[in-house]
Amino acid sequence: MRVSILTKNACWGDAVGAQVAAKVAFFLDCGADIRVFAEDGRFLHPVVEPFCRTLDADNPGGDGWRFLRSSDLVIVEFTQHYSLLQLVPILARQKLRLIIDYHGITPPELWNLPHADALRQGIDELGLLWCADAVLTHSRFTRQEVLDKTGLPEKRVFTLGYPVDLSFWSGPDGEQSLRSRLGLESARILLFVGRLAPNKRVPLLVEALAAFRDEYPPVHAVIVGNQGDAYAQEAERCRQLAEKLGVSDRLHLLGKLGGHRLREAYRSADVFVMPSLHEGFCLPVIEAMAAGLPVVAARSTALPGTVGNAGLTFTPDDVDDLVRQLRRIWETDLVSPSQKKQPDKKPLRLAVVSARFGTHFVGGAETSLRLIANTLANAGHRVEVFTTSNCAATDRRKPITRCQFDSRRHHHSPVSDRRGTNAPNGPAASNNHRSRRHRTTRSGRTILK
């Protein structure tokens, strides 16, 4: 199977670049022959780079054009105007399947940067979606936007969530957290992740920072994302505003981070804040949630749907409401990953009791219970699973002790998933454990010693 992807770019540290990389990895796993044709080949995601080719849209030809025309599937990333989009009507006449992945277009009036014309032209080119066999969107907001602006039949427009590696974002911390590197061990950290584009409204976060200027512990804002080229102007605007409000020492502009360093940023912060006025989905919101970070986002475009019931929202461009929602988090029992690992808090001993437990069981209840146990174990707690099944198939990377429980004899036999050994079975095994002392409470509960 031949697969081609057309895209404006596929940058490392960019949401669209990450999704192109995920598509490349998926099709490689399927055994497909894949090529990525990017108009801008700078700063490519490392997964994409070996498969990226250039193609002259005004004069297509050569091996790249032959591969593209002979593809079984072509996926077009649609974020704004770029020259490769003019090939879409030509490809639609070929014997191939054409999918357009619509990520949303930022309204030009919210941009005010040099390439706003590319956004205006992209809106004018939305009619190209009629060339596709199917259109992918990533939120109810962008799906409705496509239906309203193009008149496409609903059966040709699909909503598909962005893939997120939950195990990575909830994984263990590095040797030194971002909090430690910045010397903010005793501070509260507000985190923003994304491009410093005008529609993101990062200056609103700086204004909120000023509202907490006289409070203790001190509140700092950490800004992670692209601040170069077109975004340098917005970064400078944030610096100037912070200096004017007297909080320049509490604003940290770190630029782009990726991989483990980005995960450390999420897990070092206290609250993730997204004040943006326009989002087609907002992948950083999901990454923050996966890292266990409370989320506060503007009640705008796709953000309420992405946040759902798992975070708080505030009135767009209203700094007072943003401050109010942040106080709600700090005045409740909601805590961030950085607060969960204070050295004076001892890990808990937790027992999970289930008739069945392990990766051999795929039912909804078993899957949910396994996720809960693994999450608690990753958080540093001691987790023991009591089960009547004799299948010890669990994730051996997780520090979970699994015990086979015989309710008739009130004893248990430890089974360590890390060793991969099964509990002994049969009468001999029972006799070996009869010497285990136990006592029974008034309620009839057996306590093992």
pLDDT for 169 equals 85
CA-wise closest residue to 131 among 103, 110, 164, 102: 102
Alpha-carbon gap, residue 83 to 391, rounded angstroms? 57
Whether 222 and 331 map to the same domain: the answer is: yes
Whether 125 and 24 map to the same domain: the answer is: yes
- Is the peptide bond between 217 and the residue preceding it cis, with omega within 30 degrees of 0? yes
**Average of per-residue pLDDT across 423-431:** 43
* Tokens matching residue 373: 């146990």
- Structure-token match 């006799």, residue found: 431
CATH assignment of the domain containing 24: 3.40.50.2000
Alpha-carbon gap, residue 406 to 394, rounded angstroms? 20
Whether 386 and 334 map to the same domain: the answer is: no
Tell me which range, 246-255, 351-360, 401-410, is most confidently predicted by mean pLDDT. Answer: 246-255
Alpha-carbon gap, residue 422 to 298, rounded angstroms? 51
* Tokens matching residue 400: 């979970």
Question: b vs e for 119-157, b when ≥16 Cβ sit within 10 Å of the residue's Cβ?
Answer: bbebeebbebbebbeebbbbbebbbebbbeebebeeeeb
**Three-class SS state of 171:** coil
Alpha-carbon gap, residue 113 to 92, rounded angstroms? 33
CA-wise closest residue to 13 among 48, 33, 43: 43
Alpha-carbon gap, residue 247 to 236, rounded angstroms? 14
pLDDT for 7 equals 97
Q: Poorest-confidence range of 11-15, 96-100, 218-222, 332-336?
A: 332-336
Whether 110 and 135 map to the same domain: the answer is: yes
Alpha-carbon gap, residue 134 to 141, rounded angstroms? 17
Whether 362 and 333 map to the same domain: the answer is: no
pLDDT for 431 equals 43
pLDDT for 427 equals 43
Where is the domain boundary, 112, 141, 163?
163
Sign of the C-alpha dihedral computed for residues 196, 197, 203 and 204 taken in this order? negative
**Average of per-residue pLDDT across 284-289:** 95
The CB density around residue 405, as the number of other CB atoms within 10 Å, is 19
pLDDT for 302 equals 97
List for the chain the helix, strand, coil content (%; round to 5): 40, 20, 40
Share above pLDDT 90 across residues of the chain, in percent, rounded to a whole number: 60
Could you tell me the CA-to-CA distances from 383 to 350, 351, 371 in Å, in that order?
5, 6, 12
Whether 139 and 211 map to the same domain: the answer is: no
pLDDT for 361 equals 59
Whether 183 and 266 map to the same domain: the answer is: yes
DSSP 42: T
**Three-class SS state of 35:** strand
Residue 192 belongs to what H/E stretch? strand 188-193
pLDDT for 429 equals 42
**Binning pLDDT at 50, 70 and 90, where does residue 404 land?**
low
**Binning pLDDT at 50, 70 and 90, where does residue 339 land?**
low
Q: Say yes or no to pLDDT of 294 above 70.
A: yes
Whether 327 and 414 map to the same domain: the answer is: no
Where is the domain boundary, 132, 163, 194?
163
**Average of per-residue pLDDT across 73-94:** 96
Cβ neighbours for 224, distance < 8 A, ≥ 6 positions apart: 191, 192, 193, 194, 254, 255, 256, 257, 262, 265
Instruction: Look at 417 and 276; give whichever has higher pLDDT.
Output: 276
**Binning pLDDT at 50, 70 and 90, where does residue 388 land?**
confident
pLDDT for 394 equals 46
- 13: left (phi > 0), else alpha (psi -120 to 50), else beta? left
The CB density around residue 163, as the number of other CB atoms within 10 Å, is 14
Q: Say yes or no to pLDDT of 269 above 90.
A: yes
Whether 157 and 186 map to the same domain: the answer is: no
**Average of per-residue pLDDT across 108-118:** 83
Could you tell me the CA-to-CA distances from 268 to 15, 143, 338 in Å, in that order?
21, 34, 5
Whether 146 and 199 map to the same domain: the answer is: no
**Average of per-residue pLDDT across 312-340:** 83
For the stretch 215-250, pLDDT in tens is: 889 999 999 998 888 799 999 999 999 999 999 999
Where is the domain boundary, 278, 306, 340?
340
* Tokens matching residue 346: 């001892």
Q: Which domain holds residue 103?
A: 2-163
For the chain, what is the total number of helices (H) and then of strands (E)? 16, 19
Strands 312-314 and 295-298, by their bridges, are: parallel
Half-sphere exposure of residue 369, counting CA atoms within 13 Å on the CB side?
21
Whether 177 and 319 map to the same domain: the answer is: yes
Residue 86 bridge partners (DSSP)? none
Name the domain count of the chain.
3
pLDDT for 208 equals 97
**Average of per-residue pLDDT across 368-388:** 78
pLDDT for 362 equals 52
Whether 159 and 173 map to the same domain: the answer is: no
Contact 205, 190 (CB under 8 A): yes
